Structure 1
Amino acid sequence: MFRKAEAFLLLAIAYSLIRWVPMRHWRKWLGPLEPQSALAEDQHARAIAFGDLVERTATAAPFAAKCLACAMAARWMLARRGIATQLCFGARKGQDWRSHDLHAWLMAGDSCIIGAEERETYQTMGRP
């Protein structure tokens, strides 16, 4: 129960930041953006479980927590537990970032734990 409450609270914080605060004020909260090293097997399993928890919580939230809010919340939850992740951004293939057809996903080791279902249709454009 505590983890679900934590996921909901972090989703609400991420959603609020994205919606009402200019990114320049919270960009540093995204954490280090370099590729992370491989994870131990137990860390990998925990990362996947937390990613699933955040996505399930987001679908039940009374606000529209989309890919970036989910990736931020999961990243914060995993960072508290010492599990390194990488937040990635992309534009739909064949378009650039000005199209506003953007997507965020969260990598833990070699696994995409948030945003995997749409990731293949987007071209990585870097990190904020």
Structure 2
Amino acid sequence: MLAIARFAVLYVPLHIWNGNFQPKRAAIAADIQSADITNDQMQTGILVGRYARQLSKRVPFTANCLPQALAVKWYLGTRNIETVIRIGARTSRSAKPFDLHAWLLLGNTCLTGAQERASYAQFGQVNSADL
């Protein structure tokens, strides 16, 4: 799945897969709450996130934050575990013009991209219809 996610990031137009950034169910303005997540779902999410991070270091292509987040989101979706991808920009002034980062949240738990997340400011929520 990591290779498919990397391919999607590189070659598939954003409007085709941009629905991956929103939870499937209609959530008004809130993310999926931690109270809605079972212990088994949380353990599965943490384990799959760890596997994706470890695997990304061993594949013969660059599997940075967005392919990791997409792959884990897609896999957990097959298990009916809803997650949310967040994207942000680096907050320091010395950053490259488009220094972006993606991370995957299951409730309040960051499954991928947690280490770098602190130095990025999250963009506002974007609805698929707005793109």
Give TM-score, length-normalised by structure 2. Answer: 0.81
Gapped runs of 5+ residues in structure 2?
127-131
Gapped runs of 5+ residues in structure 1?
1-9
Where does residue 87 of structure 2 map in the other structure?
Answer: 89
Give TM-score, length-normalised by structure 1. Answer: 0.82
Counterparts of 1:30-109 in structure 2, within 5 Å, are 30-32=21-23, 35-38=31-34, 39-94=37-92, 99-109=97-107
Residue 99 of structure 1 aligns to a residue in which SS?
Answer: coil
User: Which of 26, 30, 35 is matched with 2:17 structurally?
Assistant: 26
Give the Cα separation in 2 of the matches to 1:76 and 1:127. 20
Q: Which structure is higher in helix share?
A: 1
Report how far residue 83 of structure 1 moved: 1.2
Is 2:5 the counterpart of 1:14?
Answer: yes
Deviation larger for 49-58 or 24-33: 24-33
Report how far residue 86 of structure 1 moved: 1.0
Could you give the per-residue CA deviations for residues 4-45 of structure 1, whole angstroms, max 9, x where no partner exists?
Answer: xxxxxx111111111112212221344537511221112111
Give the Cα separation in 2 of the matches to 1:26 and 1:123. 23
Where does residue 124 of structure 1 map in the other structure?
Answer: 122
Output the aligned Cα RMSD: 1.9
Report how far residue 94 of structure 1 moved: 4.5
Give the Cα separation in 1 of the matches to 2:82 and 2:124. 18
Residue 62 of structure 1 aligns to a residue in which SS?
Answer: coil
Residue 123 of structure 2 aligns to a residue in which SS?
Answer: strand
Residue 14 of structure 1 aligns to a residue in which SS?
Answer: helix
Task: Work out whether residues 85 and 102 of structure 2, in 8 Å CA contact, stay in contact via their aligned partners in 1.
Answer: yes
Structure 1 runs of 4+ with >4 Å offset: none
Give the Cα separation in 2 of the matches to 1:110 and 1:123. 16
Report how far residue 84 of structure 1 moved: 1.4
Q: How many residues align?
A: 117
Task: Work out whether residues 89 and 127 of structure 1, in 8 Å CA contact, stay in contact via their aligned partners in 2.
Answer: no
Where does residue 129 of structure 2 map in the other structure?
Answer: none
Amino acid at match of 1:12: A
